[in-house]
Amino acid sequence: MPVTPPSLFPPIQPIRHGMLAVDEMHTIYWEEVGNPDGIPVLFLHGGPGAGLSPQHRRFFDPRAYRVILFDQRGAGKSTPLGEWRNNTTQLLIEDIERLRALFGIQQWLVFGGSWGSTLALAYGQAHPERCLGFVLRGIFLCTRAEVDWFINEVRWFYPELYEEFVAPIPPDERHDLLGAYARRLLCHDPDVYWPAARAWSRFEGRRVFLLPQPEEVANDTLDLGVGRLESHYMLNGAFLDEDQLMRDLARIAHLPAVIVQGRYDVICPPLSAWRLHTAWPGSKLEMIADAGHGALEAGIARALVAATEQFKRLGRFE
């Protein structure tokens, strides 16, 4: 595990948590952290499929914020784990609205990184009247170019990881690695999907941080959620039109936003953050010179906490 940055707030336990059935197939886990009378904030995890970590609660001053976190469909403690059926961006947005109603919140700050930034933008554009502003990290707009980078073009930086990722796929399927992995990950044979899930998770996980990190203990929950749901959403373009999040940016462009981006992010390269920032007049871009993709890299964590502290003090972003 990476070292926890000192800029984070101390560890904290939820004041309450529970499960919410959102349809006949899916039940999602949620938790509430901090001050019940504080500024409401919605935390959206990455992946899709990565789920929550106790560290995610620590970007917010618990005296000032009421933080709602949840495991998205198929992720973490939500059930069934890794389930891709009845799992679309539009359904995740409906789940967020169910949670907002459950907690009686009128408006909230929306905080999300990586895939969480994708979902934050999609949610905001669907329900701009419910958003106070945005704190976004490692921007992913789920365009075809970004998906191609994630799967194929990253070999320019990590050829050894790419070769390891390609190796289990027969040569006649390698022209479409995403399709080849999706067929394996989304099948019902555990002897097929488990090796594919672990290979996919290794391929991504080993390039999250700018500097090498100690090898993490195997995590089947993370591997299955990430492998299945990332391939499912990438294969379907996140159930959005191509570049829809940029096309519809005007719906939230009046709201404040802080965008935190690692200069050497090879999961979600900086061009997407730059595109978003230059098209969003009220946004502030923090380009972290010595960071990759990880939210817990020191510079990124420091910038994310600074953004939530600024919103706390001013009620808005400068």
**pLDDT tens figures, 48-70:** 999 999 999 999 999 999 999 99
* Per-residue model confidence as pLDDT tens digits over 208-219: 999 988 777 778
Mean predicted lDDT score pLDDT of the chain: 95
| Residue tagged active-site, from 201, 231, 265, 277 | 265
Cβ 291 vs Cβ 297: under 8 Å: yes
Residue with tokens 């009220």: 282
318: pLDDT confidence band, cut at 50, 70 and 90? very low
CB neighbour list of residue 318: distance below 8 Å, 6 or more residues apart:
284, 310
Calpha distance 165→181 (Å, rounded): 10
**Structure token digits, residue 4:** 């926890």
CB atoms inside a 10 Å sphere around CB 175: 9
Q: What is the pLDDT of residue 213?
A: 80
Show the beta-strand stretches assigned E in the chain. Answer: 16-21, 27-34, 39-44, 65-70, 108-113, 131-137, 257-262, 283-288
Position 232 pLDDT exceeds 50: yes
pLDDT (mean) for 227-240: 98
* Per-residue model confidence as pLDDT tens digits over 256-312: 999 999 999 999 999 999 999 999 998 999 999 999 999 999 999 999 999 999 998
Domain locations in the chain as residue ranges: 16-142+240-314, 144-237
Question: Whose CA is closest to 260, among 280, 289, 282, 234?
Answer: 289
| Residue tagged active-site, from 26, 78, 114, 283 | 114
138: pLDDT confidence band, cut at 50, 70 and 90? very high
Q: What is the pLDDT of residue 128?
A: 98
CB neighbour list of residue 141: distance below 8 Å, 6 or more residues apart:
118, 121, 243, 245, 246, 272, 275, 276
The dihedral region occupied by 63, where left means phi > 0, alpha psi between -120 and 50, and beta the remainder, is alpha
Tell me how far the alpha carbon of residue 122 is from its chain's centroid.
Answer: 12
Full-model pTM: 0.96
Sort strands 27-34 and 39-44 into parallel, antiparallel or unpaired: unpaired
Calpha distance 103→40 (Å, rounded): 10
pLDDT (mean) for 227-253: 98
Cβ 270 vs Cβ 149: under 8 Å: no
In sign, the C-alpha dihedral spanning 275, 262, 269, 84 is negative
Could you give phi then psi for residue 85, rounded to 5 degrees?
Answer: -70, 150
| Residue tagged active-site, from 45, 56, 232, 293 | 293
Tell me whether residue 265 is one of the annotated catalytic residues. yes
Cβ 109 vs Cβ 133: under 8 Å: yes
Question: Whose CA is closest to 48, among 273, 261, 233?
Answer: 233
Tell me whether residue 37 is one of the annotated catalytic residues. no
pLDDT (mean) for 115-123: 98
Q: What is the DSSP letter of 79?
A: B
Residue with tokens 């191509």: 242
In sign, the C-alpha dihedral spanning 38, 44, 49, 50 is negative
Cβ burial, residue 195 (10 Å; 0-12/13-18/19+) = middle
Q: What is the pLDDT of residue 315?
A: 62
114: pLDDT confidence band, cut at 50, 70 and 90? very high
3: pLDDT confidence band, cut at 50, 70 and 90? low
* Per-residue model confidence as pLDDT tens digits over 182-200: 999 999 999 999 999 999 9
Calpha distance 106→95 (Å, rounded): 15
The CATH fold assigned to 16-142+240-314 is: Rossmann fold (3.40.50)
Tell me whether residue 114 is one of the annotated catalytic residues. yes
Residue with tokens 């891709």: 84
